[in-house]
Amino acid sequence: MTTENNATAIKGDMLKLAEEIIAGRRINRQDDLSIFLTCDLQELCEGADKIRAACVGDHVDLCAIINGRSGKCPENCKFCAQSAHNHTDCQPHPFLPTEEFVAAAKLHEKEGVHRFSIVTAGRSLSGEEFDAAIEAYNAMSKESNIELCASMGFLNEEQLHRLHEAGVTSYHHNIETSKRNFPNICTTHTYDMKIETLKLVKAEGMCACSGGIIGMGETWEDRLDMAVSLAELGIDSIPLNALMPIPGTPLEHLPSLSEADILRTVAFFRYINPEANIRLGAGRALLTNDGETAFRAGASATITGNMLTTVACATIRSDRSMLQGMGRDVTPPYQTTALNDMSATDAEDTEVQKQEEAEA
C-alpha cells in the first residue's frame, strides 16, 4: 500500500471512482489510498452502495454459526474469550454430537438462513474430533439443503478436501488485521500461516471466507492494508467485526468504535473488494438499526442469529424483515430452486391437462 507522492493518484470524486470500479478498475497497493480516509463519508458510502448494487446485486447472504468446540484454545489472541491465556467466563465443551449439528442446521434452514457453519476453538481440529466433524457434515448434507461452511483453524490440504467431499462449500479463516499489526494481537501463530491456509482453501476450489476485527488499536493504514491483502488473495467473503471488548481479555478496556468509523471501513472495503461479499459480524449493536446503515454503505451479507461469544441484538427474523424492507433479496438459493421445481411441475401438469382436454 502506498500513500506517498509518487503513488498512483485517486481523484477526490468518490462517485466517479465508484463508476470506474464498476467499469472494471481495481484498486491496488500502487494507488494512493489516503483519499479513503479524508473524503466525505456520505459520498463514500453512496459510492460503495452503487458498487455493491452493480457488482454483487441486491441479494443478501445470511449465515449462522454454532460453537462446535468451546474454550481451552492454546492460541493467545488478545481479543478472544476462548483463549486459555485469557480469563473470561467462557464455558468450555468438547466437540458436540452429530445430532445437535443436524438439528441446528434444520432449524436455520427453516428460518431461511443461507448457510450454516461449525466453528471450533483451538489451533486446529484433528484426530477423532475431525472424523466426527466429517460425520456431522455428511449427515447435514443428507438431511438438509442449507449451504455448509466450516471454521476449524489450520487445516491441511487433505483435511480441506475431506470437508469439501462431505458437503462443505466455504471455509472461514480470518487474517484478523494487517501483517504489520498481527504480532500485536497474537504471537502463537503467524500471519503468513493464515495466508498459506487460505491459499489451500482457494486451491481446493472452496469459497474462501476471511476478514478481521477493527477497533483493536490498529491504525487506519492497517485497515487499508488488510482490505488490499484480501483483494490480492481473491477472498470471496469478508467478515468485518467491530471489537466488542470482552472482560478478561487484554483488550477489555479499549473504547468502542464510532458508527462513522465503522461505516468508513465497510465502504472502502467495498471499493477495494468490489465483487466480494462484505459480511457484517460482531459489533452491529454499534450501528443504527442493527446495521441498516452499513447495508447502505457496501455491506452485502451478515452473520445472523446468536454469535459465538458476544450477544447478538438482532434475530434471524428481524434481520430478514429489515433487509426485505430495504428492498433486498434474502431468499436462500435452496428455496429458489424448490420454487423453480414447483413451477416447472405445475407447468407440466397444466400442459398434460390441456392435452387431455383436447383429446376429449
Local structure of residue 281 (DSSP, 8 states): -
Global confidence as pTM = 0.89
Cβ-Cβ contacts under 8 Å for 11 (sequence gap 6 or more): 17, 35
Of 299, 235, 293, residue with least CA distance to 268: 299
HSE, CB side, 13 Å, CA atoms: give it for residue 269: 36
Question: Which amino acid makes up residue 198?
Answer: L
**Amino acid 349: pLDDT:** 56
Q: Which three-class secondary structure state does DSSP give residue 171?
A: strand
CB–CB of 208/231 below 8 Å?
A: no
**Amino acid 313: pLDDT:** 39
Q: Which residue has the cell 500500500?
A: 1
CB–CB of 32/4 below 8 Å?
A: yes
Name beta bridge partners: 292. Answer: none
Diameter of the chain measured on Cα atoms: 83
- Tell me how far apart the alpha carbons of residues 215 and 304 are, in angstroms, rounded to a whole number: 21
Q: Measured between alpha carbons, how far is residue 43 from residues 9, 13, 264, 267, 300 in Å?
A: 18, 8, 10, 10, 18
**Amino acid 301: pLDDT:** 97
Alpha helices, DSSP H, located in 40-156: 41-55, 98-110, 127-143
Alpha helices, DSSP H, located in 56-149: 98-110, 127-143
Local structure of residue 284 (DSSP, 8 states): G
**Amino acid 82: pLDDT:** 86
Q: How does pLDDT run along the chain (360 residues), one tens digit per residue?
A: 554 444 565 767 999 999 999 999 999 999 999 999 999 999 999 999 999 999 999 999 999 999 999 888 889 999 998 888 988 888 888 999 999 999 999 999 999 999 999 999 989 999 999 999 999 999 999 999 999 999 999 999 999 999 999 999 999 999 999 999 999 999 999 999 999 999 999 999 999 999 999 999 999 999 999 999 999 999 999 999 999 999 999 999 999 999 999 999 999 999 999 999 999 999 999 999 989 999 999 999 999 986 544 433 358 889 999 999 999 999 998 987 555 555 544 555 556 566 666 665
User: Which grid coordinates belong to 346?
Assistant: 405445475
DSSP string of 305-319, one letter each residue: S--SSS--S--HHHH
User: Which grid coordinates belong to 172?
Assistant: 472461514
DSSP string of 60-109, one letter each residue: -EEEEEEEEEBS-B-S--TT-TTBTTS------B-PPPHHHHHHHHHHHH
Angle between helices 259-272 and 220-233 (to 10 degrees): 30
Chain centroid, CA 331 distance in Å: 18
CB–CB of 108/316 below 8 Å?
A: yes
User: Which grid coordinates belong to 130?
Assistant: 475431525
Q: Measured between alpha carbons, how far is residue 117 from residues 19, 100, 105, 208, 246 in Å?
A: 35, 13, 9, 13, 23
CB–CB of 136/164 below 8 Å?
A: no
